[in-house]
Amino acid sequence: MNNLLLLWQDPAAGGSNPLLIPFMLVGMGIIYFFIIRPQAKEQKAQQDFASALKKGSKVVTIGGLHGTITELKENEVGLLIAPKTIITVQRSSISLEITNSVYGSAASTKEPAKEKA
């Protein structure tokens, strides 16, 4: 009974405000839905992208290197960045696949269309 009386004390008398807890819960909900949840979705999408990489795909790394995937390992990818120049990078460092966006969905069978001047 004494605990209930403490909740309803006057805030000026040193007691707590009964609306403090609901406002804190609403604040935590806002933080979750606007910060934590979108970041978790983005991280999941990046993991799905990294696991779906395949040989022959043209990609861009986080550092801006453009290359073609030549070999795939569990956590590493071999990139051909120039003739006879293959580098090894982490799967997580690949930020973008440009095969479909530049060359269309059938990149291995078709050449890019030439523009007329």
Q: List pLDDT tens digits, range 15-30.
A: 567 788 889 999 999 9
Asked if residue 14 is part of any domain, the answer here is: no
Asked if residue 65 is part of any domain, the answer here is: yes
Q: Which of helix, strand or coil describes residue 49? A: helix
Measured over all CA atoms, what is the biggest interatomic distance in the chain, rounded to whole angstroms? Answer: 87
Residue 76 domain boundaries: 53-103
Asked if residue 47 is part of any domain, the answer here is: no
- Of residues 10 and 48, more confidently modeled: 48
**% of the chain surpassing 70 pLDDT:** 71
19: Cα separation from own chain's centroid:
37
Please calculate the CA angle 93-54-83 and round it to the nearest 5 degrees: 75
Asked if residue 31 is part of any domain, the answer here is: no
pTM (whole model) above 0.85? no
Cα separation, 63 vs 93, whole angstroms? 8
Domains held by the chain: number: 1
